[in-house]
Amino acid sequence: MASTIDRTKPSPARMYDYMLDGKENFEVDRKQAHIVLEAAPEAKQAAVVNRRFLVAATQYAASLGVKQFLDLGSGLPTQDNVHQVAQRVVPDASVVYVDNDPSVRLHAQSLLNDPRTGYIEGDVMTPAEIIANPVTQSLIDFSKPVAVFLVAVLHFVPDGNDPYGIVHDLVEQVAPGSLLAISHVTTDEISPVVSERIARQQLAVPLNLRSGEQIRRFFDGLDLVDPPGFVFTEQWAPDQKLPADDSPLKLRCGVALKP
């Protein structure tokens, strides 16, 4: 299985793991991450804050009694995975992780020891295949509420692949009372210098930065949890109002309920 991993090319999942001070990354990932950090040193803090949003959104969904979680573009297992956070609140919560990076598959094997936790190698651009996968079907009952996470994923989906259609198709599959959590790198308040430098980076998967208005469209037809509403990731805390920081690299985020 290790032969499927290309150690000569950087992996977004492993780069993200490195920025979170993880250990599941290679020299090629660290080199590429440092190139990104030279252009935008705030990227590391953005990754940390984004992870904090994922944890907070998971805790919130579990606190509502949601017992099913679909984490698309989950990346490498690290501390405070969705199943760990959710099961601290709802012990019988079930979680399906989805990623298209072969590196993730290797590390996901440790998660499979938990019968309520599964992993599939899938692409967010083909949501019907993810839903139909036997692992997904065995762990998630789509007649009951599901928390769908697209955390730091959609900015890797170019407009030509219809990101809004992908989100719509996913939301169509889940029951009323389900939650959709999204975070996305934004052009809002971004430094023009940082934006230009990021655009020049030769990432394994290019970033597609979008405005807050464009990102908010992903929640059309859903009821945003407010407070905190549609905010920057560092501001997302239910029933609280947190100040935004002055970082020149930000992510917009929100959690919404399907009525």
> Which residue, chain included where needed, has tokens 């809004």?
164
Determine the pLDDT at residue 206.
Answer: 77
Tokens encoding 190:
């971004």
Tokens encoding 79:
């501390």
Question: Does the domain spanning 49-190+207-257 belong to CATH 3.40.50.150?
Answer: yes
Pairing of strands 179-186, 223-224: unpaired
pLDDT in tens, 122-142: 999 999 999 999 999 999 999
Q: Cα(59)–Cα(80) distance, rounded to whole angstroms? A: 11
Question: Do residues 100 and 126 touch, judged by C-beta distance below 8 A?
Answer: no
> Which residue, chain included where needed, has tokens 């290790």?
2
The SS3 call for residue 154 is helix
Q: Cα(242)–Cα(7) distance, rounded to whole angstroms? A: 40
Determine the pLDDT at residue 178.
Answer: 98
Determine the pLDDT at residue 113.
Answer: 78
Determine the pLDDT at residue 2.
Answer: 44
- 117-120 own/partner pairs: CB under 8 Å, 24+ apart: 117/83, 118/94, 119/74, 120/96
Determine the pLDDT at residue 28.
Answer: 92
Task: Name the burial class of residue 117, with classes exposed (0-12), middle (13-18) and buried (19+) by CB atoms within 10 angstroms of its CB.
Answer: buried
Residue 142 CB partners (closer than 8 Å, separation 6+): 131, 173, 174, 175
Going by C-alpha positions, the residue among 224, 206, 126, 216 that lies closest to residue 166 is: 126
Number of H helices and number of E strands within the chain?
Answer: 10, 8
The whole-number mean pLDDT for each consecutive block of 10 residues of the chain, a chain of 259 residues, reads 66 85 88 82 86 96 98 84 94 95 75 85 95 97 98 94 97 98 93 72 73 98 96 90 78 97
Q: Is the dihedral of CA 186, 191, 197, 200 positive or negative?
A: positive
Domain range list for the chain: 49-190+207-257
Question: Which DSSP letter does residue 99 get?
Answer: E
